Every structure is written in C-alpha cells, then in structure tokens.
C-alpha cells in the first residue's frame, strides 16, 4: 500500500462492484442483463429510442428503477476516493457506473464513460433536465421556448450511453491514465469493452497497477497486486495502513 501513499496522480477505474455496498442493483451481473439479455440490449438502444421513444422511456424507467435512484448514497469505497483527493492527491475516476455516486461523494474529476442516469438532454436544442424532472413525466419532453416562440416539446434522450451510442470521454480517460503514477481498478470485472482496453494499455507502461475486485478477472496477470475482496472492507484495511 506504499504505492497509494507515494502516488501523486491516481487514476481509479471503477465498476459495479464499488456500488454494491450502496445496495444499488448491479444491472449487469443481476440476471446477466448487460451481457446476455438480448431484450434488454434491444430496449436500451439508440434504435429503439429513435423508433419508439415513448415505449423506450417506459422500459428505461422500469429497468433502472428510476424512482428509487435518489435514495442511494455513496459508500466507504466512494468516500475513500474523495478522501484521497481531499488529502491533496490528484485523483481522476474513470467509471463504468451510471449511478452518479462518485459525484455525490464529492469526487471532482469523474469521467462517466457510460453516461449517467441522473440527467437527460433535449436532442433538438440541447437543454439538460434533472432527475426530478425526468421522474415527474412519464415521457419527459423539452419545455424550452425556441426562437420562433414555439415550445420545443421534443422528447428528451437520457444521458446514459445506449447500445448503439459511442462511449464518452474515452480519449480523456486514456490520457488521464497515462499521466498517473498509480492505476487502481475498484470493483470491475473488466468484461465490458471498449473501456477495458485501458488497463491493457497501461500495463505496457511502468505505472503500478492494483486491482480490488471480489472475483478474478481475465486480466489479473496485468496487475502488480490483486486483492480479491469487497471494496468496503479493503479500503478500511488500507486506511489503517496509511
């Protein structure tokens, strides 16, 4: 754990495993949705949104239990990362999660590469809407007034990266990872591409790499240290050692 103490620029790569202690459902491992369920993949897709935005919003809200989203709180894992930042380390989080919990925990530099459940945007005029607005309307529409004095009224698109969308901040994430002096994976089984190519790129450098995950991954051999345990209990141990 000396590497955490000595590191000045830390990149954390986080996945669903960091949010399980917040009791958030893991959409991917629960029922294997992200990986196996074809109907899920076709519902949470750009083509379905374009074809049937009203049906899309209905399915989207059910699948992600949108009404419950505000009740989830960051846990020891998220707060540990914020703590490193507040102790003066330059911390960047690359997260696959769409729950917004890193931001809620106070971490400032967060690349949400798969987007966020917390907001939606008007595809026509670009106005952004928050979760309350999304939850208040069965099919959320834009309320902006356009130049011609007409209501925009376009159906919003969620800021989650849909199947068929490209991921966000890919190049920024790679750049941040290359500039760090510690690369730490927390709670990701590294199965989802293309973002799982980042640890592969970093393994070709001298940057120390640590993995904390409950299960083995197929990229374990890339890491200098692998800890197979829950995030919460691991960060408690690390805090004692720091």
Is 125 a binding residue for Zn ion by CB under 5 A? The answer is: yes
Structure tokens at 217: 């991954």
Whether 221 is catalytic is: no
- Which part of the chain contacts Zn ion (CB under 5 A), choosing from 27-35, 98-106, 136-144, 185-193? 136-144
Q: Does 124 bind Zn ion (CB under 5 A)?
A: yes
Query: Smaller CB distance to Zn ion: residue 18 or 155?
Result: 155
| Residue 125 marked as a ligand binder | yes
The three state secondary structure string of 130-182 is CHHHHHHCCCCECCCECCCCCECCCECEEEECCECECCCCHHHHHHHHHHCCE
Choose which of 94, 142, 160, 182 interacts with Zn ion (CB under 5 A). Answer: 142
Nearer to Zn ion, 123 or 232 (CB): 123
Q: Which of 12, 117, 122, 186 binds Zn ion (CB under 5 A)?
A: 122
Nearer to Zn ion by Cβ, of 109 and 141: the residue is: 141
Compute the least distance from the CB of residue 128 to Zn ion, in Å.
10
In this structure, are residues 15 and 189 in contact, taking their beta carbons and an 8 Å threshold? yes
172 neighbors 113 (Cβ within 8 angstroms) = no
Rounded to an integer, what distance in angstroms lies between the CA atom of residue 94 and that of residue 110? Answer: 6
Would you say 152 is a known binding-site residue?
Answer: yes
Contact 7, 207 (CB under 8 A): no
Tokens of 85: 């930042």
Pairing of strands 182-186, 128-129: unpaired
Asked if residue 226 belongs to a known ligand binding site, the reply is no
DSSP code for 45 = B
235 binds Zn ion (CB under 5 A): no
Compare residues 152 and 226 and give the one whose CB is closer to Zn ion: 152
Angle at 230 between CA 9 and CA 192, to 5 degrees: 70
The interface with Zn ion within residues 159-178 (CB under 5 A) comprises none
Interaction between residue 141 and Zn ion (CB under 5 A): no
For residue 210, the minimal CB distance to Zn ion (Å) is 44
Distance in Å from the first CA to the final CA of the chain? 8
Active-site residue among 114, 137, 153, 221? 114
Q: Which residues bind Zn ion (CB under 5 A)?
A: 122, 124-125, 142, 144, 152, 154
Binding site as annotated, residues: 122, 125, 142, 152
Active-site residue set: 114
Binding site as annotated, residues for Zn(2+): 122, 125, 142, 152
């Amino acid at each position: 754990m000396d590497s955490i103490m000595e590191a000045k620029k830390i990149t954390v790569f986080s996945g669903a495993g960091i949010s399980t202690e917040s009791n958030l459902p893991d959409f991917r491992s629960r029922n294997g949705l992200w990986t196996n369920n074809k109907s899920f993949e076709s519902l949470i897709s750009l083509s379905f949104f374009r074809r049937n935005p009203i049906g899309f919003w209905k399915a989207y809200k059910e699948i992600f239990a949108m009404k419950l989203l505000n009740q989830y709180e960051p846990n020891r894992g998220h707060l540990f990362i914020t703590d490193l930042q507040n102790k003066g380390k330059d911390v960047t989080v690359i997260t696959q999660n769409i729950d917004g919990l890193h931001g809620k925990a106070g971490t400032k530099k967060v690349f949400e590469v798969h987007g966020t459940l917390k907001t939606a945007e008007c595809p026509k005029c670009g106005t952004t809407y928050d979760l309350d607005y999304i939850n208040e309307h069965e099919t959320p529409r834009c309320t902006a007034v356009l130049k011609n004095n007409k209501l925009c009224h376009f159906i919003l698109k969620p800021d989650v990266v849909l199947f068929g969308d490209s991921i966000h901040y890919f190049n920024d994430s790679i750049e941040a990872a290359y500039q760090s002096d510690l690369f730490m994976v927390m709670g990701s089984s590294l199965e989802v591409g293309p973002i799982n190519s980042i640890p592969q790129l970093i393994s070709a450098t001298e940057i120390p790499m640590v993995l904390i995950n409950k299960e083995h991954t197929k990229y374990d051999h890339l890491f200098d240290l692998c800890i197979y345990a829950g995030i919460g209990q691991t960060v408690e141990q690390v805090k004692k050692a720091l």
